[in-house]
Amino acid sequence: MEIEKTYNSAKAEKTWYQYWLDKKFFKSTPDHRIPYTIVIPPPNVTGVLHMGHMLNNTIQDVLIRRARMLGFNACWVPGTDHASIATEAKVVALLKEKGINKTDLSREDFLKHAWDWKEKYGGIILEQLKKLGASCDWDRTKFTMQEDMSKSVIEVFIDLYNKGQIYRGVRMVNWDPQGLTAVSDEEVIHKEATGKLVYVKYKIENSTEFITVATTRPETIMGDTAVCVNPNDERYMHLKGKYVIVPVVNRTVPIIFDEYVDAAFGTGALKVTPAHDINDFNLGQKHKLPTIDALTQDGKISEAAGAYVGMDRFACRKQIIIDLTEQGLVEKVEEIKNKVGYSERTNAVIEPRLSMQWFLKMDTISKPALDAVVNGEVKLIPEKFINTYKHWMENVHDWCISRQLWWGQRIPAWYDGKGNTVVAKTKEEAVKLLNTNDVKQDEDVLDTWFSSWLWPLTVFDPKIVQNGWDKANEDLKYYYPTNDLVTAPEILFFWVARMIIAGKEYTGQKPFSNVYLTGIVRDKQGRKMSKSLGNSPDPLELIEKYGADGVRVGMLLCSPAGNDLMFDESYCEQGRNFANKVWNAFRLIKGFEVGNVEQPQSSKAAGTWFENKLSEQLEIINEHYSKYRMSDALMATYKLVWDDFCAWYLEAIKPDFIDGKAQPIDKITYEATLGYLESLLKIMHPWMPFITEEIWHLIKERGEKECVIVAEWPKQEQELDIKQLAEFEVSKELVAMVRNVRAQKQISPKEKLEVIEKSEATRSYFDAAIIKLANLSAFNYTKDQVEGAFSFQIKTTEFYIPLAQSLNKEEEIVRLTKELDYNKGFLKSVEIKLSNEKFVSNAKPEVIEAERKKQSDTLSKIKTVEEQLKAL
């Protein structure tokens, strides 16, 4: 069979992904095996693949592919999130391009446009994940707004309302003036901005005196209903019972006294605007102040403000400073840096706003979810996020679950126009409960997270809330709880925690056992990758350029759990180079001519060592997986293949060239080598699925379902021979030293050299391998020093290379003197450490033993070098 000279990644990806689909290798149904389950964090239906998705989904695919090979019934459930705010914004923008305003449409007509958009564009990101090699069970693909999923969301709302957990009320919320909806605290991004702190003078009624208030939001002055000072602030004690005149609108409001105000901060006086600040709202409630909403829903000055009506809030901010300055009411203006909240979806500056909303009480329902993480039932990886989670959950606020949108699950609350409200599944039920035909459903929809918190449950059984755990379907009973969740730390609270809450509430069980938290993908300057900065490469272009396997390896070479990934395209290049190395190694092996020849000792020794090395590294790789050290598992795999297999094993068994012709390889070594390669392909497969499947089928003819994707994960076939591994490490060091001598002395790699070991021994198991790898004429032993030879030491053993060219004594003395100085310096550092009582009393015994071994070896080296210098 002709093997292509270079690996064609595009061809392999197209061929094997379709083959895996056709053979149903990704499909999972309940059976006798132990399940291993991952549910995908559903990307927004508006989304296209970005670098964060690449990282997250590559990790999930690595975990699911390895589980499949370990014999688990591996099930990875894909799907998308309806993303209320983002999708509605997309559809509104699309309609605007066509000259249609949302306000001109009925709700039904708008939703028809939204569903049309979803059907046309909503599956793009899932198709892109296939390019990456994602081995999801695509038959199980879910969408958070499909009919059965939406029904479960409504069931949960009704259930929690009936339990007294959901209520409706006027509260201060984060308002998005562009999206025209409330958003949760977690959907507000705080950014540092430069602002103006304006010191405004409020005149005391019936007095020539003023009280100065500092504010960053002068556009809300028209909503002031009091000025507040600390009751213990001596500067203002004479003002008890007095009133001030609010600038611009000349409204008289009281001076109130409350210890909430910090007398040492600013002027010690605070303007109280209950409609536009949560703390002011609380003060207003406490002191029974009126509330004046100075802003409209879209961020303009309202009729109630009484001035600047209809002006944009930021334009008003500039104008009011000018006007107050002209009136002599601005004492000073300072430039300051402050944190400003922006909507995650629309990037509009958030306004605190009093609004009638629906809320879920979080104090009691969240406790089991807090306990689940604190007691280790659900593990966070890395553990550093446990404290963050604990802090959030111990300070949790009621969850605002209503959104002023049309795209989403509509709240099942109904009103009769007489102040009565009922919660019911259908209008017919509401009519019966309210005893009138004149009923109107709530206009709002539920927060997107109120559907996705049910994701691990409803992807398997949408009727779980209705039926309860005892009557749950076969899928849920089999696959739930799931095993691993891979997601980002920024949604730890408003998705991960809430899924645990829902799981505990409706099954009494955790939704998953482990939460692997990825870092943020940043550029090499440390900036978060984003469209606006233009620093985020197109993942599909990377795949086209470096192959999916190359990109997968590149993403995970530098991605420790919980730490940010400083991405550089050179990592993908390194991944592609690794794929090419594997391909070339395979071509080399398949190019060997198998002959009826005896197995040389060098090949036998190399095989014995590599079997040991494979077992050792497999144990290490498995350990890394068990601790979710994904980058470490990949790097150990990379070194096992590139260094141990390609650079050492293949070099040791590669047949010699005689008279320009490659000699045949013995059958035992050849078949063993193919066996090692197959084991390596299995270990590499989770990281590099395409090239491993391609080579797997080129090695030999296989049955249609004999694929590496379902091959058994390698097992340790033999007990480790630690002594032999250590012995070969010395052999490798010896070969490296011989190669260095060749380079230093400009001796051709083809010229054979002799190496002599000063030892009581007469032979070693790896002598033949050393001769082959270092291209030696002989490897001999002596008990005496060899005069006039180039000498060096490995650990405590001396080696000599007799050279045909005469040894330059002066150069050798300089070299040995440098070596002696280095070893003396190193010995001093070790002895300082060992003389430190604190170190000796606190360090582990094995650490102290290692330091003493360094001391002993270095003393031996010093003695040897001094003897060599003396001889010279």
For the stretch 117-145, pLDDT in tens is 999 988 899 999 999 999 999 999 999 99
C-alpha–C-alpha distance, residues 607 and 165, integer Å? 67
Q: How confident is the model at residue 644 (pLDDT cuts 50, 70, 90)?
A: very high
C-alpha–C-alpha distance, residues 496 and 517, integer Å? 10
Q: What is the pLDDT of residues 184-205, one digit of tens each?
A: 887 888 999 999 999 999 999 9
- The pair phi, psi for residue 548, each rounded to 5°, is -60, -40
Q: Look at residue 824 in the predicted model and tell me its pLDDT.
A: 87
Q: What is the pLDDT of residues 88-126, one digit of tens each?
A: 989 999 999 999 999 899 999 999 999 999 999 888 999
746 φ/ψ sector (left φ>0, alpha ψ -120 to 50, else beta):
left
C-alpha–C-alpha distance, residues 417 and 636, integer Å? 69
Supply the DSSP symbol for 783: S
Report whether 360 contacts 401 (CB < 8 A). Answer: yes
pLDDT > 70? residue 1: no
How much of the chain exceeds pLDDT 70, in percent?
Answer: 98
Q: How confident is the model at residue 561 (pLDDT cuts 50, 70, 90)?
A: low
Count of CB atoms within 10 A of residue 426's CB? 12
- Residue 37, classed as helix, strand or coil, is strand
pLDDT > 80? residue 75: yes
Q: Look at residue 594 in the predicted model and tell me its pLDDT.
A: 95
Q: Look at residue 868 in the predicted model and tell me its pLDDT.
A: 67
Mean pLDDT of 844-864: 82
Q: Look at residue 808 in the predicted model and tell me its pLDDT.
A: 67
pLDDT > 80? residue 209: yes
Identify the sign of the CA torsion 841, 846, 851, 857. positive
Cα radius of gyration rounded to whole Å, the chain: 36
Instruction: List Cα–Cα distances, 830 to 394, 433, 459, 844, 861, in angstroms.
Output: 48, 84, 60, 16, 14
State which H helix or E strand residue 467 sits in: helix 464-467
Q: Look at residue 375 in the predicted model and tell me its pLDDT.
A: 97
pLDDT > 70? residue 813: yes
Q: What is the 3-state secondary structure (H, E, C) of 275-340?
A: CCCHHHHHHHHHHCCCCCCCECCCCEECHHHCCCCCCEHHHHHHHHHHHHHHCCCEEEEEEEEEEE
Tokens 């699925």, residue located? 689
Q: How confident is the model at residue 807 (pLDDT cuts 50, 70, 90)?
A: low
Helix 9-22, helix 539-556: angle, nearest 10: 80
Instruction: List Cα–Cα distances, 470 to 163, 464, 509, 716, in angstroms.
Output: 20, 9, 13, 42
pLDDT > 90? residue 265: no
Convert 613-637 to b/e letters by CB count within 10 Å (16 or more is b).
bbbbbbeebbebbeebbbbbbbbbb
Count of CB atoms within 10 A of residue 394's CB? 11
Q: Look at residue 523 in the predicted model and tell me its pLDDT.
A: 83
C-alpha–C-alpha distance, residues 72 and 38, integer Å? 12
> Given the DSSP bridges, would you call strands 142-143 and 79-80 parallel, antiparallel or unpaired?
parallel
How many secondary structure helices (H) and strands (E) does the chain include?
28, 33
Supply the DSSP symbol for 777: E
Q: How confident is the model at residue 872 (pLDDT cuts 50, 70, 90)?
A: low
pLDDT > 80? residue 530: no
- Report long-range pairs for 721-725 (Cβ below 8 Å, ≥24 apart): 721/612, 724/608, 724/609, 724/612, 724/765, 725/609, 725/612, 725/613, 725/616
- Residue 642, classed as helix, strand or coil, is helix
270-279, 297-306, 509-518, 827-836 — which is least confidently predicted? Answer: 827-836
Q: What is the pLDDT of residues 302-331, one digit of tens each?
A: 999 999 999 999 999 999 999 999 999 999
> Given the DSSP bridges, would you call strands 594-595 and 665-666 parallel, antiparallel or unpaired?
parallel
Q: Look at residue 804 in the predicted model and tell me its pLDDT.
A: 63
Cβ within 8 Å of residue 735, ≥6 positions away: 770, 773, 774
Instruction: List Cα–Cα distances, 625 to 281, 384, 629, 642, 690, in angstroms.
Output: 51, 19, 6, 20, 21
C-alpha–C-alpha distance, residues 859 and 300, integer Å? 81
Q: How confident is the model at residue 562 (pLDDT cuts 50, 70, 90)?
A: low
Supply the DSSP symbol for 219: G
pLDDT > 80? residue 864: no
Q: What is the pLDDT of residues 683-740, one digit of tens each?
A: 999 999 999 999 999 999 999 999 999 999 999 877 889 999 999 999 999 999 999 8
pLDDT > 60? residue 73: yes
pLDDT > 70? residue 871: no
Report whether 233 contacts 282 (CB < 8 A). Answer: no
Convert 314-337 to b/e letters by CB count within 10 Å (16 or more is b).
eebbebbbebbeeeebbbebeeee
- Residue 674, classed as helix, strand or coil, is helix
Average pLDDT, the chain: 93
C-alpha–C-alpha distance, residues 864 and 3, integer Å? 53
Convert 343-378 to b/e letters by CB count within 10 Å (16 or more is b).
bbbbebbbbbbbbebbbbbbeebbebbbebbeeeeb
Mean pLDDT of 441-449: 96
Query: Token digits for 811?
Result: 């150069």
C-alpha–C-alpha distance, residues 136 and 60, integer Å? 10
C-alpha–C-alpha distance, residues 139 and 163, integer Å? 36
Q: Is the preceding peptide bond at 481 cis, omega within 30 degrees of 0?
A: yes
C-alpha–C-alpha distance, residues 563 and 520, integer Å? 7
pLDDT > 60? residue 439: yes
Q: Which amino acid is at 359?
A: F
In 3D, which of 80, 200, 51 has the Cα closest to residue 140? 80
Higher confidence at residue 495 or residue 183?
495
